[in-house]
Amino acid sequence: MTTLVVKLAVIALIAIVLVRYHRFRAILLTERRAWPDRLVFALSLGIPMGAGVVARLLLGYKAADLTLEATFLAGLIAGPYAGALVGVMCGLPPIFAGEFGSLPFAVGCGFAGGGLRELCPKPDIWHFSPFVFTSLHRRVWHSMRTLQVDWQVVLVLAPIGMEAIRLAIGHRFGVHRLFHLEATNDWTTILLIIATVLAIAIPIKIWNSARIEHQLIEQEKLLMAARIEALSSQINPHFLFNTLNSISSLIRSKPETARMLIGKLSNLLRQRLKSRDHFVTLREELQSIDQYLDIEVVRFGPQLHVAKDISPDTLDLRVPSMILQPLIENSIKHGLTAKLGGGTVTLRSFRSNDQMIIEVADDGFGMSAEQLQKAMSAGIGLSNVNERLSVTYGANHQLTLTSAADTGTCARIEIPLQAAVQRVGA
C-alpha cells in the first residue's frame, strides 16, 4: 500500500512540475503537434521516468518505476512514436540488469497508448479523470444497453489489460525478466490495477486543469478587449458630436474659422482611424491632445490658455488612448466657458512611488460636492474614462475629481507604474 501511494505521489509531482514550464504547457494546448513538440514532450516525460527506473535498479526504490504508466500516457497524449520513445528511455536501462522483457513491453505500451489516441475522440482523452470509477458501472451498463462505445470505459480497460499482461508475463518468467509489483492476494492485485489506472488519470487531470485555466485566461482577455473596444467606440461619437456642435456655432459668424476647424478635425479623425491600438504612449496621447486643443484655442481665442508640466520619464509610458480628451473637454466646458477673462487648463504628469500620475486641472469657478458626484456618475466622458480604467487596471487605478469654489477643478488619474511599463513591450 505504501508503495502504491508513493507511486501515485511521484507521478502527480512530475506532472505538476512539467506543466509549470511554458513550452510543455504550450504543447498541451493543441492536438496537432509538430515533430519538435512531440520530441520535447517525450523527452520531458521520458527523462524523469527513465531516472525513476534507474533509481529502482540501483536503490531498489520500486515506487519510482512507472514504465507502464509513463509510456502509455506519452502515447495517449502525443502519439505512438512519442510513446515508443519514452518506452525506449524507460525500457533500455533494465536490459543491462537482465530484465530482457522490459524494452519490448515498454515500447508496446507506448504504441498501445498511441493507437488508442488515434481511435479515441480527443475530448474524451482529456475528460479521463481519477473519478471515473464512481460512474464506471453506469457507463458499462449504458454501453451494453445501447451497443455504443463508451471511450471512458475503454480508457479504463486498456491500462487494466496491460497491467494484467505484465503480471502474467512476470509470474511466468519471473520478476528478474520483467519488473512488476508482486501481489500477495486478490485484494492487493485489485489495488495494484486501480493504482495503474489512477497513475495515468491523475496527470491527465492535472494537465487538463492547466489547459482549462489557460482557455479561461484567453477568454477573459478577449472579453476585456471587447469591452475596451465598446468603450472606445462610445467615446469617439461623443467627442465628434461635441466638437461638431462647437464648430456649427461658428459657421454663420466666422465661416473661415469654421472651415479651418473642420480641417483640423478631419486631420485628427484621420490619425485616429489609422491607429487601432487601444494603448499609446503618453507622448502620442499628448500629440493628439495638441490637435484637439488647437481646435478649442481657435474657438475660444486668446482667453483660453494651456499649460503643460510633463515629466520626461513619463512620456514613454503606455496609457489608454483618448483618455485625456474627455477630461480636458470637461475642464473647458464646465470650468472655463462661463468664466470672464478666460482661464488656463494645466496638464501634469509625474511618477510617485509605484504610480504614474496624470492631472488635468483648470482655474475655473469650481464645483460643489453634489456637482462632483453628478459629474462622476452621469457624465458620459468621465464615466467612460473611469470604466475604461477599471476594465484595464482593475482595482489598481484611481480617478478622483477634486474642486474648490473660485479655485478650479482637478481630475487626477493614478495608473500602476508596472502596468504602464509592461505595456511598452506589449
Which CATH number goes with the domain that contains 285? 3.30.565.10
Residues 96 and 15 in one domain: yes
Cβ neighbours of residue 159 closer than 8 Å, sequence gap 6 or more: 68, 69, 72, 196, 197, 200
Residue 351 lies in a domain: yes
Residue 315 three-state SS = coil
Residue 213 lies in a domain: yes
Residues 33 and 181 in one domain: yes
Give buried/exposed letters for 245-268 (b at 16+ CB in 10 A, else e). Answer: ebbeebeeeeeeebebbbebbeeb
Residues 368 and 327 in one domain: yes
Cβ neighbours of residue 291 closer than 8 Å, sequence gap 6 or more: 264, 267, 268, 271
Whole-number pLDDT of residue 127: 87
| Contact assessment for residue 403 and residue 367, using Cβ atoms and an 8 Å cutoff | yes
Q: What is the pLDDT along the chain (426 residues), one digit of tens a residue?
A: 788 888 888 889 999 999 888 888 888 888 888 888 889 999 999 999 989 889 888 888 888 888 899 999 999 998 899 999 999 999 899 888 888 888 999 999 999 999 999 888 888 888 888 887 778 888 888 888 888 888 888 888 889 999 888 888 888 888 788 888 877 788 888 888 888 889 899 999 998 998 888 888 777 766 666 665 555 555 456 567 767 777 787 787 778 878 887 887 777 777 666 656 678 888 888 887 887 787 777 767 677 888 899 999 999 888 887 788 888 888 887 777 666 567 888 999 999 888 899 999 988 878 777 777 777 766 667 777 888 888 788 777 888 888 887 788 888 999 888 776 654 433
Map grid coordinates 505538476 to a residue.
Answer: 16
Residues 25 and 154 in one domain: yes
Phi, psi of 424 (to 5 degrees): -65, -40
Q: How many domains does the chain have?
A: 2
Residues 7 and 93 in one domain: yes
Q: What pairing do the DSSP bridges indicate for beta strands 343-352 and 304-310?
A: parallel
Residue numbers of the domain that contains 392 = 249-422
Whole-number pLDDT of residue 425: 38
Q: Note the pTM of the prediction, 2 decimals.
A: 0.61
Residues 190 and 273 in one domain: no
Name beta bridge partners: 279: 320
Q: In what order do the strands lie in the sheet with 304-310?
A: 304-310, 343-352, 355-362, 408-416, 398-404
Q: What pairing do the DSSP bridges indicate for beta strands 279-281 and 398-404?
A: unpaired
Whole-number pLDDT of residue 424: 41
| End position of a domain, from candidates 196, 217, 238 | 217
Name beta bridge partners: 344: 305
Phi, psi of 350 (to 5 degrees): -165, 170
Residues 167 and 212 in one domain: yes
Residues 410 and 287 in one domain: yes
Residue 223 lies in a domain: no
Work out the number of other CB atoms within 10 angstroms of the CB of residue 182. Answer: 13
Whole-number pLDDT of residue 166: 87
Residues 82 and 122 in one domain: yes
CA dihedral 177, 178, 179, 184 (to 10 degrees): -90
Give the C-alpha separation, 252 to 250, whole Å.
6
Phi, psi of 318 (to 5 degrees): -90, 140
Whole-number pLDDT of residue 254: 78
